[in-house]
Amino acid sequence: MVPEELNSPGYDIPPEARGQVAITTLDRIYNWGRSASVWPMMFGLACCAIEMICAAASRYDIARFGMEIMRPSPRQSDLMIVAGTVTKKMIPLIVRLYNQMPEPKYVLAMGACASGGGPFKEGYNVVSGVDKFIPVDVYVPGCPPTPQALLNGLMKIQEKIRGESLKTSRWYQKGPDSVEMPIPLLGPDLIDTRKIALIKPAAKKGQEA
């Protein structure tokens, strides 16, 4: 499956993400307010989380970006920093946390692991990138990205926010309030519920082979 397809959260990516819509003054004010108060979720998975803590601490101080309010509850946060290795045992919970976040919400994949599996990709309990299950807005490579690299990624998130428009933002349009991502199940191995139909024939093929 091509990554774009997986990245698509089930709705059309609004074109303003590509910066093609005229942005009004109101949008500017609105986006300025939003981009200067992105509240990340306090949520660390592995080594990268330590660099995230360092980014929040005295030397790098993400408070300068209005992001120091790390919310332990997903319901109060705008940004999910997936900092670390995503394992199969953990991914159902990550998807559930993502679903609990109110819109507009953003996801930043911090480090090689969250972006694409990382050094432990070949492991039997490792998910090959969190974007297999939830849409990711910004990828920060590195293992671990230094706090400054993370700040650079956060600025990319701000850049993305600044490119959005009230007129086209999905969460101000008619339609469902938010899009829920299906939560994978833990069976004999991880079961992606979107692929259930695929699993049966493929597993059978394995039997014949």
Residues lying near ligand SF4 in the complex (CB under 6 A) are found at 46-48, 84-85, 111-113, 118-119, 143-144
CA dist 189 and 89 (Å) reads: 10
- Using a 10 angstrom Cβ sphere, with 0-12 exposed, 13-18 middle and 19 or more buried, the burial of residue 88 is middle
b vs e for 179-197, b when ≥16 Cβ sit within 10 Å of the residue's Cβ? eebebbeeeeebebeeeee
C-beta of residue 167 within 8 angstroms of C-beta of residue 108? no
| Residue 174 interacting entry, from another protein, ligand SF4, none, C-beta within 5 to 8 Å by type | none
C-beta of residue 85 within 8 angstroms of C-beta of residue 126? yes
Q: How far is the CB of 25 from another protein (least distance, A)?
A: 26
**Helix or strand (DSSP H, E) at 33:** helix 25-35
Beta bridge partners of residue 44, listed in sequence order? 83
| Residue 129 interacting entry, from another protein, ligand SF4, none, C-beta within 5 to 8 Å by type | another protein
- Judged by beta carbon, residue 129 or residue 163, the one nearer ligand SF4 is 129
Amino acid present at 112: A
Q: How far is the CB of 118 from ligand SF4 (least distance, A)?
A: 4
Site string for another protein, 167-186 (x = CB under 8 A): ------------------xx
CA dist 190 and 87 (Å) reads: 10
CA dist 17 and 163 (Å) reads: 6
- Judged by beta carbon, residue 15 or residue 176, the one nearer another protein is 15
| Residue 36 interacting entry, from another protein, ligand SF4, none, C-beta within 5 to 8 Å by type | none
Q: How far is the CB of 22 from another protein (least distance, A)?
A: 21
For the chain, what percentages of helix, strand and coil (3-state, to nearest 5) are there?
Answer: 45, 10, 45
| Residue 149 interacting entry, from another protein, ligand SF4, none, C-beta within 5 to 8 Å by type | another protein
Interaction residues for another protein, span 41-80 (CB under 8 A): 42-47, 49-51, 53-54, 57-61, 64, 70, 72
Q: How far is the CB of 187 from another protein (least distance, A)?
A: 6
- Judged by beta carbon, residue 67 or residue 82, the one nearer ligand SF4 is 82
CA dist 116 and 131 (Å) reads: 8
Interaction residues for another protein, span 107-146 (CB under 8 A): 112, 115-129, 131-132, 137-146
